[in-house]
Amino acid sequence: MKILLTIISSLFLVLAAPAYAIVGGGAPSADGVGRSVVTIVGSRGNFCTGALIAPRVVLTAAHCVQPGATYKIVEYGADRQPLLQDVKTVAIHPRFNMQAMTAHRATADVAMLRLDAPLKGKTASAVGAPQIPIVVGSRFTIAGIGVTMRGDGRSGGIIRVAGLIATGKPGTLQIRLVDPVGRGTRDGLGACTGDSGGPVFEDRQGGPVIVGVVSWSTGPNGSAGCGGMTGVTPLTLYRDWILQTARQWGSAL
């Protein structure tokens, strides 16, 4: 609990900080695609991003909520004081492989959290899958609460968004995204520490739909860090598991 309170206090401090942007630029947003974004903190000292997909269900990355720790959602009241929301149950996709994820290989990096009570001030986002075929240059929007400067925890804690494009050989197992300007060769937009588990949106006629979660990031040209490439686990192969798990929890998506 002491670790959780320390993390939450740090996140609260950055709320008054300048609204930088998700690594390299962009604009923070609590509306639109940011309406469902939440902060997840763990008893081992980690923090990640998640997205509300039902009143009591949060979607995130499997590597964010590993066994042996407890997790909570951080909400903020009208006075901007942090409030803890208990996570009742954690479901990790059975095919998730941590070693594959840390090596930036495709794996089922998807998990769901069942909450004790509905989140106030948040609106659930629809869950779907990327439109097929996924081609190089396809546009996606990522959202997260991670840091804007690697190693600087004070630069995190604010919802930020960025528009990225697909590169390499995107498919149903993994999508690699880059800044449309720098294209991963120089510092630009991209996920960073704390953005793991964040929702990846694709625009549809009825509005943005979550089609993936953020799994990893690199610096320019594959270097360690952020602002180069953002690795995404698409929900194409895992949407049925998400829907089934939600139904078992009594939540229809």
Whether 253 is in a domain gets the answer no
Residues 61 and 112 in one domain: yes
For residues 151 and 239, the model is more confident at 239
Residues 147 and 179 in one domain: yes
pLDDT digits (tens, 9 = 90+) for 87-146: 999 999 999 999 998 888 999 999 999 998 888 888 999 999 999 899 999 999 999 988
Secondary structure of residue 187 in the 3-state scheme: coil
Task: Inform me whether the pLDDT recorded for 231 exceeds 90.
Answer: yes
Residue-level pLDDT at 108: 96
Residue-level pLDDT at 151: 56
Residues 85 and 180 in one domain: no
**133: preceding bond cis by omega (within 30 degrees):** yes
Domain count across the chain: 2
| pLDDT tier, 149 (very low <50, low <70, confident <90, very high otherwise) | low
Residue-level pLDDT at 24: 45
Half-sphere exposure of 205 toward its Cβ, with a 13 Å CA cutoff?
Answer: 0
d(CA 192, CA 194): 6
Whether 28 is in a domain gets the answer no
Q: Cα–Cα–Cα angle for 231, 235, 236, nearest 5°? A: 115
| pLDDT tier, 30 (very low <50, low <70, confident <90, very high otherwise) | low
Round the CA-based radius of gyration of the chain to a whole number and report it: 16
> Domain range holding 118?
2-17+36-124+238-248
d(CA 60, CA 146): 14
| Mean of the per-residue pLDDT values of the chain | 83
Diameter of the chain measured on Cα atoms = 47
Task: Inform me whether the pLDDT recorded for 1 exceeds 60.
Answer: no
Task: Inform me whether the pLDDT recorded for 8 exceeds 60.
Answer: no
Is the Cβ–Cβ distance between 72 and 60 less than 8 Å?
A: no
Task: Inform me whether the pLDDT recorded for 40 exceeds 60.
Answer: yes
CATH number at residue 207: 2.40.10.10
Whether 49 is in a domain gets the answer yes
pLDDT digits (tens, 9 = 90+) for 172-213: 999 999 999 888 788 788 888 889 999 999 998 888 999 999
C-alpha closest to that of 143 among 125, 158, 161: 161
Residue-level pLDDT at 6: 41
**CB proximity list for 121: less than 8 A, separation 6 or greater:** 75
Residue-level pLDDT at 32: 77
| Distances 120 to 38, 50, 84, 141, 144 between C-alpha atoms, Å | 11, 15, 12, 24, 18
